[in-house]
Amino acid sequence: MQADQRVEPPETAGELETLTGFLDYFRATVVMKAAGLSDAEGAKRLLPSLTTVSGLVQHLTDVEGFWFRDRVDGQQDVPTRWSEEDPDGEFRVSPQGSLAGIIADYEAACEQSREVMRRHGLEDRCRGGGGKQNVRWVLVHMIEETGRHCGHLDILRELLDGSTGD
């Protein structure tokens, strides 16, 4: 596993800085847990479900776009791999799928999400999805979503090569 270069969330900061600090910490954990595996290891199924390291990173890539670009910013036609016909599409890894490319796509999606956040405040209503949530809700949801999948990645990484750690 690559060296830990994550930035700890701030211990004393405002609400926005605290929330984004925790989300960025978990985003960096996703990259740290996935990096350094071969493409075959990243796509290896260790469970009966479609859960793989590469599939989880693809899922998180799509979730970043959905919640920040589609819901928060109201952008139209944000692509996802899931559909009504294939609700688990983002977990399916192409045989040509490069784990390094999947990680790069995730990092790009996270940067697009940060760009969206620079235009919105915590109290802003989401522009997409009927405006049901505010930006604060999306940030908290993404901390939960990304943190939960960090735990999955931690277990998969240990099963794949014995690497453990935060």
Report CA-CA distances (Å) from 77 to 10, 24, 88, 130. Answer: 35, 25, 19, 15
What tens digit of pLDDT does each residue of 13-60 get? Answer: 999 999 999 999 999 999 999 999 999 999 999 999 999 999 999 999
Q: Which residues, 6+ apart, have CB-to-CB distance to 66 below 8 Å?
A: 78, 80
Domain annotation covers residue 25 = yes
- pLDDT, residue 1, reads 63
Q: If DSSP codes are grouped into helix, strand and coil, which group holds residue 134?
A: strand
Residue 121: which CATH number?
A: 1.20.120.450
Locate tokens 């760009």: which residue? Answer: 115
From residue 92, give the alpha-carbon distance in Å to each of 30, 45, 116, 144, 155. Answer: 18, 11, 27, 22, 19
Q: Which tops the pLDDT comparison, 104 or 165?
A: 104
Does pLDDT of 107 surpass 90?
A: yes
Percent helix, strand and coil across the chain, each rounded to 5?
A: 60, 0, 40
Q: Is residue 88 part of a domain?
A: yes
**How many whole angstroms separate alpha carbon 80 and alpha carbon 114?**
18
- Please check whether residue 9 lies inside any domain of the structure: no
Range of the domain at 46: 17-161
Please give the average per-residue pLDDT across 108-127, as a whole number.
Answer: 97
Asked if residue 10 is part of any domain, the answer here is no
Number of domains into which the chain is organized: 1
Specify the 3-state DSSP secondary structure of 12. Answer: coil
What percent of the chain clears pLDDT 90, i.e. is strictly above it? 87
Confidence at residue 6, expressed as pLDDT on a 0 to 100 scale:
83
pLDDT value of residue 95: 82
Q: Would 11 be classed as within a structural domain?
A: no
- pLDDT (0 to 100) of residue 136: 98
pLDDT for residue 140: 98
Give pLDDT tens digits for 67-92: 999 999 999 999 999 999 999 999 99
Mean pLDDT computed over every residue of the chain? 94
Question: Do the domain assignments include residue 166?
Answer: no
